Amino acid sequence: MGIRVHENSIKKLKAKLKEVTGRSNAMGMKIRSIKLRQIIVGWVNYFKLADMRSTLKTLDEWLRRRIRLCYWKQWKKIKTRHDNLKKLGINEHKAWEYANTRKGYWRISNSPILARTLSNKHLKEQGFITLTEKYLSLGNSY
Question: pLDDT tens-digit profile of 93-121?
Answer: 999 999 999 999 999 999 999 999 999 99
* Every domain of the chain and the residues it spans: 7-15+28-137
Can you spell out the DSSP letters for 21-43? T-TT----HHHHHHHHHHHHHHH
At 2, is the pLDDT very low, low, confident or very high (cuts 50, 70, 90)? confident
Return the pLDDT at 3. 85
Closest to 62 (Cα-Cα) out of 90, 40, 38, 34: 40
Cα separation, 57 vs 77, whole angstroms: 32
What number of CA atoms fall less than 13 Å from residue 119's CA on the CB side? 7
The answer on pLDDT for 1 being more than 70 is no
Largest CA-CA distance found in the chain, in angstroms, rounded = 53
* Tens of pLDDT, residues 22-67: 888 888 999 999 999 999 999 999 998 888 889 999 999 999 999 9
